[in-house]
Structure 1
């Protein structure tokens, strides 16, 4: 278990008290964990706790408007010229026909056809929004009446500020990690994403849950998780950080995924750290063959050509599906329930690893954190920063110095395993920037062996789907290199 005093001493400004009763208020309001912890940090009293739950509810209601009271905001913008600032997730796109930037706030039902970002505002805010096409931030709306050169009335964006209440110092984060054992650190990370370490039976369950975080921390990491219902897949990929995108059901088009043909509106892969396709069995593809081809091209190289435009992305692609416990058998075809798009071996081979959902217990009350823990918003920012190319090169160098494999090893297997190891190293051993700084047996236990297992499941599924091409081709032996003296 985590020593709370040591945790708070190591991260004095970035821990919060997570009370299940208070957390339930945010959950009832459908507020993501990263946003919740930002509010907790602002409203907690000197002991770190929220004592007035009713005052908290009132503040949430004021700072995060709901669709049913959006008419009040519209009237405020029209009557007073501007609204008070509030928290919202906005989406931004460029309209070629009108040569204008527009925005949408889907949670409030505000669409692009009734908004405008005037040029002087765009110049002021574009640094906060251009890379992500929007996101969560403090928003202020205005209103422009029709008349003169403005044929239509519309709501305008007066202010937008992407919030980040912390000074994110990776070196301080790494230095603080040195104070914990690996077992302690695993518990720290579980607390950061709202789980109670004491609720798990063993380290394997804990480790498998944390495997879900690998796409948060490593660019272009493609994973599959098939698991029974109720294990928290949607929660983690949809609520923990603000840099990913969870697609749940409905129809997914090529333009939405990769970008429109004129190149003005970037797709999900270009503006997110990962794109998780939840309940994959219920997602429809507008043109399945087009989506299949696009995924293969993008997942292979990180880029795709749409029309005359070359689109480069850093997002990993995650498939999330529910299957019965009785079908969680790696020796059988576990993909038979998935859309036909994913029944092609060439596409499946581009997924780096498989998360064993059977090792993750169904969510229960004893798995919810209750006490001091690392702030989710802060931790999600750390993971986002560790995706940077310079950081990735540091950890990949360590992995390549430590992992040995035969020259005949399959190239895709090798890239998958090295990439998974790099992600595990960033997550569990962020302080290790040189091979001699990590215990070799711990690296094997927590990084290399799980990476090989994750890729092996993909290989087994390839053998089931396409026995002529992949039958008898197993993952090579990936081992630790001899320690350098």
Structure 2
């Protein structure tokens, strides 16, 4: 339905679904078609494309008023002691807004909110006043929902059915994804339901890394990596006004990678403190906030290339390629495992209205599931406090998304715990390449019967030869030329011993690459 109405309107998905929810909430095909036509008509009449802003301003002047769909932000004008709205696409400023509207919707003050608004025009001779009047303003967001009925409904689904429903809600066809790929997609939702969660995703272009943060929820904001300042993100010292982290649940940094990009050193230092302690100090006071941070960017090279020549954080700007900053990241989402988005991957089935799901995830921020695995499993004592925090936060977030009612089996809990540990291990293993002061950690956990489970990342399984090399140890070129080291002098000659292929069983993980029929069966076919 969203695809049917989106066309070339540059509005987020939750705006379209809000309108569809009002006009297409039925199973009747004819009613749905007429509802879609109504929504298209509303967008055609009331959405303001930037290139037609002049025409719509003229229409409001001639007609006296008009209803518009636009992104509206509000500022306090201290000189006149009044709130003034700016319409992003319509291009009008200093439109008076009453205090009650601002109190009811404080996000208008930071970054702006998509709204349906009635704008009136009343010209007078007074040069100090604006002719534009804001008659009504209604943010396009869900007004209420029943959390208990959501929990009750979850109990009627199996785990696989529930995962498929969530994947369809994001907009993808679950039949085209394996279990691990589905979990990677759902992991992008964790910042919305977990406070102060820091996630990084680096991978090839075109895998939909920033889509969730820009289209999915009215509680998240996507900022370009180079555009943000300390004042915009944290607090403006001259006005005392708190920045984005005070108002949004998720602040995502787009185009975060790029070695040549310059980053403000002061910003990096404040971010380090905020990501570790949930607080930042400017001037004389220390302020706290609960926004999660998501960093998304494109990689320039393949995984084996990065592992061979540098590390998996290689594409980050120099100021962010810093072990103290990266140590505060709770999960590294391997973007190279996510498929490049193609037309057939989109879903045609039913899913949640994204606005509804966004409100559910927001309410789940008040819950904590981080210790639910402890009934069955114990983390290795090697794992440091910071590693433990990262594992706990990822585990808690995935539990909230998949089992909000808390009824998971031991095997399901183990799968989520294993996945959470892998994401934090990916961060730690790269830190050990960047900074030699980090000690080696055994990422493992035990069950109640004393059985130990060791965790490896998928890259470790695929490229063991490159994965455990410390860059710059002076021996890497020799290693690549002759991976087998021997003590045999050149004078001695040794008859090569050809090993006979053995019967056996080989297990591979989903998304594992570097496997061929040649390596699997080649030894068994010699002489055939």
**TM value normalised by structure 1:** 0.83
2:247 to 247, 259, 271: 271
User: What are structure 1's unaligned runs of at least 5 residues?
Assistant: 1-17
Using a 3 Å threshold, how does the CA distance of structure 1 residues 408 and 474 change in structure 2: closer, same or farther?
A: closer
Structure 2 CA distance, aligned partners of 1:301 and 1:263?
A: 24
* Structure 1 CA distance for aligned equivalents of residues 124 and 287 of structure 2: 37
Q: Tell me, what secondary structure is at the counterpart of 1:424?
A: helix
Alignment match of 1:207 (pick from 175, 183, 192): 183
Contact 2:147 2:360 in 1 (8 A): yes
Asked if 1:227 is matched to 2:203, the reply is: yes
Query: What CA deviation, in whole Å up to 9, does each residue of 1:138-179 have, x standing for no partner?
Result: 22234565655x624263433222344564111111111111
Q: Does 1:335 align with 2:308?
A: no
Q: Is this contact kept in 1: 2:311–2:433, CA < 8 A? A: yes
- Of the three residues 251, 254, 263, the one matched with 2:227 is 251
More helix by share: 1
* Number of residue pairs the alignment of both structures matches: 444
Between 1 and 2, higher relative CO (CA 8 Å, sep ≥ 6) is seen in 1
For 2:104, the equivalent position in structure 1 comes to 127
Distance 2:266 2:326 in 1: 16
Once the 2 structures are TM-superposed, how far is the Cα of residue 292 of structure 1 from its aligned partner?
0.7
Quote how far apart the aligned CAs of 1:122 are: 1.6
Q: Matched residue of 1:265: which SS? A: coil
Q: Secondary structure at the match of 2:89?
A: helix
Q: Structure 1 residue 285: deviation in Å? A: 7.8
Partner of 1:427: 401
Distance change in 2, residues 1:190/1:330 (3 Å): farther
1:361 aligns to what? 339
Aligned residue among 213, 218, 225 for 2:194: 218
| Residues 166, 154 of structure 1: alpha-carbon distance in 2 compared, 3 angstrom cutoff | closer
Q: 2:379–2:445: 8 Å Cα contact kept in structure 1?
A: yes
- Measure the CA separation in 1 of the matches of 2:196 and 2:119: 35
TM alignment of 1:134-153, pairs within 5 A: 134-143=112-121, 145=123, 151-153=128-130
Taking the aligned partners of 1:480 and 1:94, their CA distance within structure 2 comes to 57
Q: Describe the SS at the equivalent of 2:433.
A: helix
Task: Tell me the alpha carbon deviations over residues 390-430 of structure 1, each in whole angstroms, 9 at most, x when there is no partner.
Answer: xx23x235355555234553110111111111000001111
Corresponding residue of 2:283: 307
In the alignment, which of 477, 480, 483 is matched to residue 444 of structure 2? Answer: 477
- Counterpart of 1:108 (choices 61, 83, 90) is 90
Q: 1:234 to 1:154 in 2, by over 3 A?
A: farther
Shift of 1:330: 5.8
Question: Deviation string for 1:281-335 (max 9, x for gaps)?
Answer: 3699886111111111111111212234543221111111111461365675122
Give the whole-Å Cα distance in 1 for the aligned partners of 2:190 and 2:53.
37
Q: 1:73 to 1:28 in 2, by over 3 A?
A: closer
- Kept after mapping to 2: 8 A contact 1:251/1:284: no
Shift of 1:261: 1.1
Task: Give CA deviations for 1:188-242 in whole Å, capped at 9, x if unaligned.
Answer: 1001111110122x21111111111111111111001011111111222211111
Establish whether residue 189 from structure 1 lines up as the match of residue 166 from structure 2.
yes
The aligned residue for residue 96 of structure 2 is 117
Match of 2:470 in 1: none
Deviates more, 1:421-430 or 1:301-310: 301-310
Q: What residue ranges of structure 2 are gaps of 5+ in the alignment? A: 451-528
Query: What is the CA–CA distance in structure 2 between the aligned matches of 1:277 and 1:143, rounded to whole Å?
Result: 38
Q: Deviations over 1:118-146 (max 9, x none)?
A: 4xx22244212358744223222345656
* d(CA) in 1 for partners of 2:307, 2:441: 14
Question: Aligned residue for 2:523?
Answer: none
Q: Is the 8 A contact 1:224 1:318 kept in 2?
A: yes
1:442 equivalent to 2:412? Answer yes
Output the aligned Cα RMSD.
2.8
Instruction: Find the residue that maps to 1:117 and give its secondary structure.
Output: strand
Q: 1:29 to 1:449 in 2, by over 3 A?
A: same
Q: How far apart are the structure 2 equivalents of 1:475 and 1:258?
A: 36
Query: Counterpart in 2 of 1:13?
Result: none
Q: Partners in 1 of 2:22 and 2:95 — Cα distance?
A: 31
1:373 partnered with 2:355: no
Relative distance call for 1:306 and 1:66 in structure 2 (3 A) is same
